[in-house]
A and B are shown apart, each in its own frame.
Chain A
Amino acid sequence: MLRNSDSARGLTLISPPLLYAVLMLAGPLGMILMFSFVPQSDGPNTLITLQNYTEALGDPLYRQLIIRSLLISAAATAITVLLAFPIAYFISFYVPPKRKSLWLFLITIPFWTSYLIRIFLWKVILGLNGLLNTGLLKLGLINEPLEFILYNPAAVVITLAHAFAPFAILPIFVALEKIDRSLLEASQDLGESKVRTFFRVTLPLAVPGVVASVLIVFIPTVGDYVTPRLVGGSEGTMIANMIQVQFLRLDNRPMGATLSVITMICVTIISLLFVLANRRNMKART
């Protein structure tokens, strides 16, 4: 009886946010799926069609954009997480407990400050007369400005690695904080070196955090619009830019919806495969 009223209260309480998510998220996502089967204006005169999908998957332009988005995102994710791990490790293991939240705060501040301007400033840093080129010229390391660092996929990767840094650091930090420090002492007491302790105890225990940060960086970056637009040039254009063009320029909603659905499916499959590949690691050792 008590339990029933408890679950009834819980459901009543969660119903407003749930209803909102159903109306504003689940419904619209279903609508996107529906639109992906609607014929384009020059398409077949039927109610539903698979032509959008055959076109999207057959057209080398769309295919290339999707593959490139996934590759750029994967590279950005790898770099972001690799750069983030030592920071999370440093804060968790070497910063005194009282200063930990200060460090986390310092890391999250840039993330909350004007996204557009932050990305635009990477254009300033990487550009021909930018900070990087002027600095390297002054130091005499190069004779002419480097042209290959802006308007290409590498610039997108660098900028994304910057924009998503806190997203990667926090989950790893949380996982590291959970590690029982006596396990590390035990390993060293039993004769393992510090380095081997790190690879055989700390790192395996941190896997759930690393997996979480990989997903939390990879999934949103595949659909990033601003970064490729500002620093990517034509070589660094990604699928979100094409989705925007389909919706807002060409007014081709069926194709925009189809590209969105395909992107989501790709992201979901890759994420699931990644989680599955790491499942043994996550279960056996925690």
Chain B
Amino acid sequence: MNGLRIYALIYLVFLYAPIILLPIFAFNDGTVIAFPLQGVTTKWFSELMTVNALHDSVKNSLYVAVITAIFSTLLGICAARAQARYRFPAKKGIVGLIMLPLVLPEIIVAVSLLIVFLSLGFNIGLWTIILGHVLICTPFSIAILNSSFQNLDPSIEEAAQDLGETRFGTFLKITLPLVMPGIVSSLLIAFTISMDEFIIAFFLSGTEPTLPVYLWSQLRFPQRLPVVMALGTILVVLSILILILAEAMRRYGLRRSGMQDKGGFL
């Protein structure tokens, strides 16, 4: 028991090692990302403010991530609702195909989309990234929304319909509010995944880089690395905040439907 606990703590250190290093180098007053440390500075953070290419890439990423989050959540609602409520032919196969991007190597998704867009003569750009991101975010949205829809007591909806609501009215007034925490949490997770996704964006970005694509181009220049560390620190803090919010929403949803918490997003 104690041995296991110690192992678990060491494992957590292993998991968090890279993230803990980020702020250390972001505030380090040296141009080389290595030990020993040189003293404290905030100049890398102020340098962030002056890089226009960075600001553009952040805007591109936000644009892509917001649209991706909305569409993958909409598709996720359809799939999760159908899966929780209805029996239909080939259910396993259909759901399997939709969930496939979860395990498929991302490079395969990226090159297959690239080949299609190039063959059809489309210009690759932000919207082709969005198409790819919606594909890989939808399974995550479905996984999150599944538990929301499965926890829903069907007798509540039946009651609304018995009292004269239409199917659609019931969905809007009863179902949607009850699964809202799941929806918010799906939006947040899809947003986070899209903001962070590199491979698909790398293949499909054309001339408009997203933030990870911009970061990748910077990793080649050693003198740019301290600024990258500062940027990384900000990103880590922001994504942890978003995750805490998503987790809080998920738990709120569970509490409200009176279900026991069985853990994790996946």
Contact = CB atoms under 8 A, between A and B. Distances in A.
Interface in A197-227: 215-216, 219-226
Interface residues of A, number: 88
A122 interface: yes
A170 B82 contact: no
A245 to B, nearest CB: 12
A110 B109 contact: no
Interface stretch (B38-46, B51-59, B157-165, B258-266): B258-266
B18 A220 contact: no
Contact of A222 (B94, B105, B113): B105
A170 B262 CA distance: 11
Contacts, number: 253
14 contacts: A13-B79, A14-B95, A17-B79, A20-B134, A35-B115, A94-B5, A105-B264, A112-B239, A113-B196, A113-B239, A117-B229, A216-B102, A243-B111, A248-B203
B122 interface: no
Contact of A220 (B4, B104, B265): B104
Q: Which of A107, A122, A124, A125 has the most CB of B within 10 A?
A: A124
Contacts of A120: 219, 228
Interface in A110-127: 110, 112-118, 120-122, 124-125, 127
Contacts of A216: 102-103
Interface of A: 3, 6-11, 13-18, 20-22, 24-29, 31-32, 35, 83, 86-87, 89-91, 94, 100-101, 104-110, 112-118, 120-122, 124-125, 127-131, 134, 162, 165-166, 170, 173, 177, 215-216, 219-226, 230, 240, 243-244, 247-248, 253, 256-257, 260, 263-264, 267
B8 A18 contact: no
A120 B18 CA distance: 9
Contacts of A253: 115, 118
Nearest to A5: B86
Given A28-B115, A116-B215, A162-B15, A225 B243 contact: no
B70 interface: no
Interface residues of B, number: 90
A109 B12 CA distance: 11
B241 to A, nearest CB: 11
A257 B114 CA distance: 11
B138 A17 contact: yes
B119 interface: yes
Contact of B264 (A165, A170, A223): A170
A31 B116 contact: yes
B76 A13 contact: no
Contacts of B232: 114, 117
Interface of B: 1, 4-5, 7-8, 11-12, 14-19, 21-22, 25, 32-36, 74-76, 78-79, 81-83, 85-89, 91, 94-95, 97-98, 100-109, 111-116, 118-119, 131-132, 134-135, 138, 142, 192-193, 196-199, 203, 212, 215-216, 219, 228-229, 232, 235-236, 239-240, 243, 247, 251, 261-266
B201 to A, nearest CB: 11
Nearest to B260: A97
Given A14-B78, A89-B4, A101-B261, A25 B97 contact: yes
Contacts of A170: 264, 266
A22 B100 CA distance: 11
A26 B131 CA distance: 14
Contact of B262 (A8, A27, A177, A263): A177
Contacts of B101: 25
Given A115-B212, A117-B228, A11 B263 contact: no
B131 A24 contact: yes
B264 to A, nearest CB: 4
A263 B18 contact: no
